């Protein structure tokens, strides 16, 4: 077990070099956490622009301020490269590349495969490799391990392999990498020991589990739990719409029960890199075993149709004023998938804008975190939010409730508002407010 003991000694003494494959919303905060803990960190990303920005000390991730990143770059504690050959000197490598869905809703693990192949080319003897990218149960053992075994050597003896799902929540400040418990599963007991030791240097509570597949399933359960419950409350919103009830009042009153109820809130649809995507990984895996994940698929159906519901609410609101969507000036407030971040991945705003454009609307949007919005069917620039813009819009649609937005101004100036986030709760104004 000389490789294990040698690697453990390097980790504990902080002499180990840590590599991060993928320097996005997950990889960059992780790299910073290791660098701040005293490790030398090498980040690799195929995006040349990202690498150039990082090496200039400029962060493109809101959770990592420039003033935090810059001294790590200046002191050579953290360096970025586009070349996987840079990871040849790494003792531990975390894979944090994207795992999107294909248009057929099947998992796209091509980024994982590419990263694993590139890492294997640099040699893996004496190294720990950890997959953090969310994926279906069995990926680490069935996809990553065979590629590393191609170099020869025995897992758990000559090299070490684990899965530890990321728990990054962009924009969140109450829980950090340090204070968020981290689930870890190893291919062997030795793999688990090394991985727990490594992550124990940057997190307060490592949570070891019995296998990589268990750790993979934990991540999918976490995000499926949220997707299914959001699907439930979105369906309740549709029911309340039919019944003439206010869904926000219903949820708020139900929340007063001190046990047996956990509040989830409706919205215009699910967005982000996890919640709309990850449950499909589990559903796909179960289909290969001739099992239908009915809750997941039903929740996905409800959530994916919420943008259509929002557009219907816009149409109804305009009809009240004898207007059609076609030719109307509609202002979208917020296009990021969640408040106070600039991430538009899977944002329901994209579908809402597309549907409104299809129906002939004249559109503007305002989002202080997203100055430009590039999509396959449109290219737009954020407009300045002022009284004139609000007053001239035939309908204002609140899609993302950024804290920096002056909601009192919106309520005071807009004529017709479709509020999908309850952002104007309790506010009076000149216009008519339509709830979700």
In contact, 31 and 55? CB cutoff 8 Å: no
Q: What is the dihedral of CA 411, 413, 415, 416, to 10 degrees?
A: -30
Residue-by-residue pLDDT tens, the chain, 436 positions: 689 999 999 999 999 999 999 999 999 999 999 999 999 999 999 999 999 999 999 999 989 999 999 999 999 999 999 999 999 999 999 999 999 887 777 889 999 999 999 999 999 999 999 999 999 999 999 999 999 998 889 999 999 999 999 998 888 889 999 999 999 999 999 999 999 999 999 999 999 999 999 999 999 999 999 999 999 999 999 999 999 999 999 999 999 999 999 999 999 998 876 777 888 888 989 999 999 999 999 999 999 999 999 999 999 999 999 999 999 999 999 999 999 999 998 899 999 999 999 999 999 999 999 999 998 888 999 999 999 999 999 999 999 999 999 999 999 999 999 999 999 998 877 789 999 8
DSSP bridge partners of 62:
none
Output the six-digit token pair for 224.
Answer: 């499926």
Task: Choose, from 96, 191, 274, 405, the residue flagged as catalytic.
Answer: 274
- Report how far apart the first and last C-alpha atoms of the chain are (Å, whole number): 60
Sign of CA dihedral 230, 241, 351, 267: negative
Q: Give the integer Cα–Cα distance in Å for 45 and 49.
A: 9
Indicate if 305-435 has the same CATH topology as 2-219: yes
CATH topology of domain 305-435: Rossmann fold (3.40.50)
The domain ranges of the chain are: 2-219, 305-435
Output the six-digit token pair for 59.
Answer: 């962060």
- The model's pTM is 0.92
In contact, 299 and 232? CB cutoff 8 Å: yes
240 is catalytic: no
Residues with Cβ within 8 Å of residue 319, at least 6 apart in sequence: none
172 alpha carbon, distance to own chain's centre: 12
Q: Which CATH architecture has domain 2-219?
A: 3-Layer(aba) Sandwich (3.40)
């Amino acid at each position: 077990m000389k490789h294990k003991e040698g690697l453990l000694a390097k980790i504990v003494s902080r002499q180990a070099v840590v590599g991060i494959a993928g320097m996005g919303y997950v990889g960059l905060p992780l790299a910073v956490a290791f660098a701040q803990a005293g490790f030398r960190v090498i980040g690799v990303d195929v995006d040349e622009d990202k690498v150039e920005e990082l090496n200039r000390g400029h962060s493109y991730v809101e959770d990592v301020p420039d003033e935090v990143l810059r001294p790590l770059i200046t002191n050579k504690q953290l360096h970025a490269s586009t070349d996987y050959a840079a990871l040849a000197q790494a003792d531990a490598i975390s894979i944090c590349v994207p795992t999107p869905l294909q248009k057929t809703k099947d998992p796209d693990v091509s980024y994982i495969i590419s990263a694993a192949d590139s890492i294997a080319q640099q040699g893996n003897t004496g190294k720990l490799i950890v997959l953090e990218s969310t994926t279906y149960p069995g990926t680490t053992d069935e996809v990553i391990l065979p590629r590393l075994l191609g170099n020869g050597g025995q897992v758990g003896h000559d090299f070490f392999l684990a899965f530890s799902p990321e728990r990054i929540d962009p924009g969140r400040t109450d829980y950090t990498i340090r204070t968020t418990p981290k689930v870890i599963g190893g291919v062997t007991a030795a793999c688990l020991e090394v991985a727990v030791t490594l992550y124990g240097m940057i997190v307060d509570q490592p949570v070891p589990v019995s296998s990589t597949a268990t750790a993979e399933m934990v991540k999918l359960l976490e995000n499926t739990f949220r997707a299914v419950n959001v699907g439930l409350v979105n369906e309740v919103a549709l029911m309340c719409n039919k019944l003439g009830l206010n869904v926000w009042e219903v949820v708020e009153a139900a929340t007063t029960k001190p046990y047996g109820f956990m509040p989830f809130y409706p919205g215009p649809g699910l967005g982000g890199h996890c919640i709309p995507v990850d449950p499909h990984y589990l559903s796909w895996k179960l289909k290969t075993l001739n099992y239908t994940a009915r809750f997941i698929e039903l929740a996905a159906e409800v959530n994916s149709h919420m943008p259509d519901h929002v557009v219907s609410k816009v149409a109804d609101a305009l009809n009240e004023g004898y207007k059609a969507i076609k030719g109307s000036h509609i202002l979208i407030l917020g296009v990021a998938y969640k408040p106070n971040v600039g991430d538009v991945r899977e944002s329901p705003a994209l579908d809402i804008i597309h549907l409104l454009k299809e129906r002939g609307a004249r559109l503007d949007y305002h989002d202080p975190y997203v100055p430009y919005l590039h999509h396959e069917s449109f290219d737009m620039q954020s407009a300045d939010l002022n009284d004139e813009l609000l007053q001239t819009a035939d309908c204002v649609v609140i899609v993302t409730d950024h804290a920096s937005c002056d909601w009192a101004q919106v309520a005071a100036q807009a004529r017709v508002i479709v509020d999908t986030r309850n952002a104007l709760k309790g506010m009076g104004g000149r216009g008519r407010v339509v709830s979700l």
